[in-house]
Structure 1
Amino acid sequence: MISHTFAHTGPLKGTIRVPGDKSISHRSLMFAGLAVGESRITGLLEGEDVLATAAAMRAFGAQIERSADGIWTVYGAGVGSLLEPKQALDMGNSGTSTRLLMGLVASHAITATFIGDASLSGRPMKRVIDPLTQMGASIEASAGGTLPLMLRGAAPAVPITYRLPVASAQVKSAVLLAGLNTPGITRVIEPVPTRDHTERMLTGFGATVEVGEENGEKIIAIHCEADLMPCDVVVPGDPSSAAFFMVAASIVPGSDLTIMNVGLNPTRAGLLHVLRQMGADIKEVNPREVGGEPVADLRVRYAPLSGIDVDPAIAPAMIDEFPVLFVAAAIASGTTRTSGLDELRVKESDRLAAMAAALTAAGAQVEEHEDGLSIHGTGGEPLRGTANARVKSLLDHRIAMSMAVAGLVSTGGVEVDDISPINTSFPTFMGLLAEATA
């Protein structure tokens, strides 16, 4: 464990560039690893989660190399031609890697065992196990439907039409990836929209994907394809990583920070919308499109924030950003209320309980409810917890980084008990924070 104390060091200034989008990085390695031929990936996030995906795709037969200039070259194994891994696939802390790769294996005649760290091994996999079992895969999981688990793929798998019981881009993606090597058409019905990188990127790699709507619900259909085509991918900056700096610059007086090359996919831009509702001063500079994804530079200046009732319908578009939004709410004027956030209880940690405890220790007024938090803000005053208030990250990178931001607006500083989990998603976080506050 590596503890660190974060304290007020002055406004955030200058220009920073956050690492590549984690969701797109995972998928670019997977889809390039399934394509026949050479793909090149620029801007890949080189955090531990994405490297777990790279290691797994190598185990399935893809050739993946990183050059000195940071460009990754992938020679794919081909849909239908995955090799059986010689040993268990260690997913570390990555739920995305696990659930999407389970979908890949489900329609191939191979067996794979998935293992992970203590945090990942407590996360629910039944939501993926259910549809993949319907498609013919055989899955033996640990008690409670968790890792470690062994998955035997079906060949041929059975196409299904699956209605998502929870809003989850990972479950949707797992079913669609299984559908890549399943005869016929596999469909997913999505009552609540979730991030759509899988649909956009599979289309870019040459898959036949149809997106329609029926009775107000989104329907995504994927046709069985023999081959994906290689593709060069430029990964935009991760909006979930930019979120910590968007909030920090919004709540630290005097800040004027530009965050370059941020992906603004509408299914991921919920935090931007909510912060603006609260009064944040965030401008999109040089908006453009890169590889089918909207991108812009974000100029964020300090502005007094006001508490709001957050519409639960926006949750899927910012599910990973709520921990740092709670920090913004703690400094706003009035009360911010959130609801419909049951999903946060089954992330890397129970993020509702973890953030309620951490913010309370830092001096915030927080009420925890079954599906959300109510936070009574300070009206712009710094948090007045005990000196060097010690908070638990619970092996959760987003809790650690959110409380780092809280430390910037506290009178006594905030000590995060373990910052090492930050490397799973944002290995340059500490350096960028030091650069922006220098």
Structure 2
Amino acid sequence: MSWLRRTGWAPNTEEAWTSFRHHISNHVKGQGKRAKVSSIVLAIMVLVILIADVWVYYYWLHEAKQNGKQRIGSIMSLLGFLPCIKASNESIDATMLEDGMNQEKGAELFDFAIIETATDKFSNANMLGQGGFGPVYKGKLPEGQEIAVKRLSRSSGQGILEFRNEVIVILKLQHRNLVKLLGCCITRKEKMLVYEYMPNKSLDAFLFDLSEKEKLDWATRFNIIEGIARGLLYLHRDSRLMIIHRDLKAGNILLDGEMNPKISDFGMARIFGRNQTLETTNRVVGTFGYMSPEYAMAGQFSVKSDIFSFGVLLLEIVTGIRNAGFSHHEQYPNLPAYAWKLWNEDRGLELIDLALGDSYIQAEVLRCIHIGLLCVQDVPSDRPHMQSVVLMLVNETTTIPIPKKPAFIDKGSPSNTDSPPGHSVYSINYASNTTCDGR
């Protein structure tokens, strides 16, 4: 070995080892720097990819919304992202709301493009009418089903609260005398409700139109009265929830192909607990001419508020006269006052709509007037519950209590002198169909 070292063929061990360690150290340091640089580059690339993915996702989502292509499996999952309705006397109870969101029954979320095509781009030719919510259009889905589309007007006083309220309430209701909600459409700045189509539109389109009211013979009118009563009985007592409609009127009674009535427009409806009897609100909504006195003046509503509205509607169906803007007789400010006067003088048959001719049954007509007057009593406790109303309508032998003078009698009216003791007498201008808060 020493010979090899001297000849140069064998290296010095210590020098060789030192040289080897130095080489390895340099190599490792180089590798570490490269690995560190590689890690940094990789992290930056991952971050860039993530940012790009997020941007692409939100861009796609935005475009999908703009084009009405957003797909969501459940209508209630969509409604869950809408502004929450607080549990207060102005809204649906939070527990009921959550329960409603978990109980979806066959509702569909429609694409805007489908609704736009179905209504021929919301053409005037397909417009069925105009309400407080906005215009209503007839449409036909690709599979041929006819629909009615309620489109929230941007100028409407109603908004997302009423929209969501109607969806959640009506999805929980199933009755032959309630309109069926098929689904809704929320896209761009549009909010629409999609219903089953009612070919005969609304009751007021016949009842207050001189050229159409003759199509409502007495048998048809009595069937409509009974159907409305049964629908209200379901809302007040037989459904899983107690529902106060708060805007029952001729315009919110739709008629199917066989002239069967269906109560519609639940945007103002409120859910009551089974032990709840009364609620007070600072936001009075509804339609003058149908509002009970305690609701119009004190914001108090209950099932008896709907009973009052039903009584007014019943008298309108019998007489063919609209209560709002009543001008049939100068001495009486409204239809209930006029009806009570004639009925109290045994002249009730003079109230019958002349368009009925001789098609009516006198006993049924007089019984309906009697029940209608009982429903429009000033004091809520004097009004019957809906189950009693239905019984009085269908059972001729049922004893009907004698009504007192109805609410909203003008102080200047000559009939004021015989007002029952203890009765408050009110006056409201019925010459206008103006309503509170967007109705």
Q: TM-score, normalised by structure 1?
A: 0.25
Give the number of the structure whose residues are more often strand, by fraction: 1
Greater relative CO, 1 or 2 (CA 8 Å, sep 6+)? 1
Q: Greater share of helix residues, 1 or 2?
A: 2
TM-score computed with the length of structure 2 as normaliser? 0.25
